Amino acid sequence: MCEASENYLWHLLDKVGSGATSDVFKAYNTKTGEIVAAKVSKLKVAPRNIRSANQNDVQSVFEREINFLKDIHHDNIVRFIGTEIVTTSNDSSEPPNREVLFLEFCNGGSVGDILRLPANRYGLPEYSVIQIMKDVTSALKYLHQKKIVSRKN
């Protein structure tokens, strides 16, 4: 089964991640063929004046993420592409009118995914660790210069 927005299409079996408020799918731009990540909200987008408190909180988190990503331009931080609304759904269990956030698709996976590969069971070569640390440090320095704090509760 597929879902679509105005310019993008994704198959529901191509899920690359999931969280409390959204699922992430590998998607493609129907006009250019570009592969992207589609972060699809699990909640229906309701007009501001009739949102429940819980919907407001979740939507507020989604909107903060969008506003944050729009202003970030760094090689080591995933690139924001845009947002659209789901226009079709073949799965009646999914609510219509969900918001979708489109991001750069990072094909290599996370550092954790790389470390779990059988070839890396004893760790990564020193040059790889050094490069990863340089990339992470560069991204954190950029965020610090923009006065953005990243913390996990």
d(CA 120, CA 108): 14
Per-residue confidence band for 134, with pLDDT thresholds at 50, 70 and 90:
very high
pLDDT at 120 over 70: yes
Report the pLDDT averaged over residues 2-16: 92
% of the chain with per-residue pLDDT over 70: 80
Report whether 22 contacts 41 (CB < 8 A).
yes
pLDDT digits (tens, 9 = 90+) for 57-93: 656 777 888 888 898 999 999 999 999 988 755 555 5
Per-residue confidence band for 47, with pLDDT thresholds at 50, 70 and 90:
very low
pLDDT at 110: 82
- The second-level CATH assignment, the architecture, of 2-107 is 2-Layer Sandwich (3.30)
Per-residue confidence band for 44, with pLDDT thresholds at 50, 70 and 90:
low
pLDDT at 153: 53
- What is the distance, to the nearest Å, from the Cα of residue 100 to the centroid of all Cα atoms in its chain? 9
pLDDT at 58: 59
The closest alpha carbon to 41, from 93, 95, 1, 81, belongs to: 95
pLDDT at 36: 97
d(CA 81, CA 54): 27
Answer with the residue of higher pLDDT: 148 or 31: 31
State the amino acid at position 108 in one-letter form: G
pLDDT at 94 over 80: no
Q: Lowest-confidence range among 16-25, 42-51, 60-69?
A: 42-51
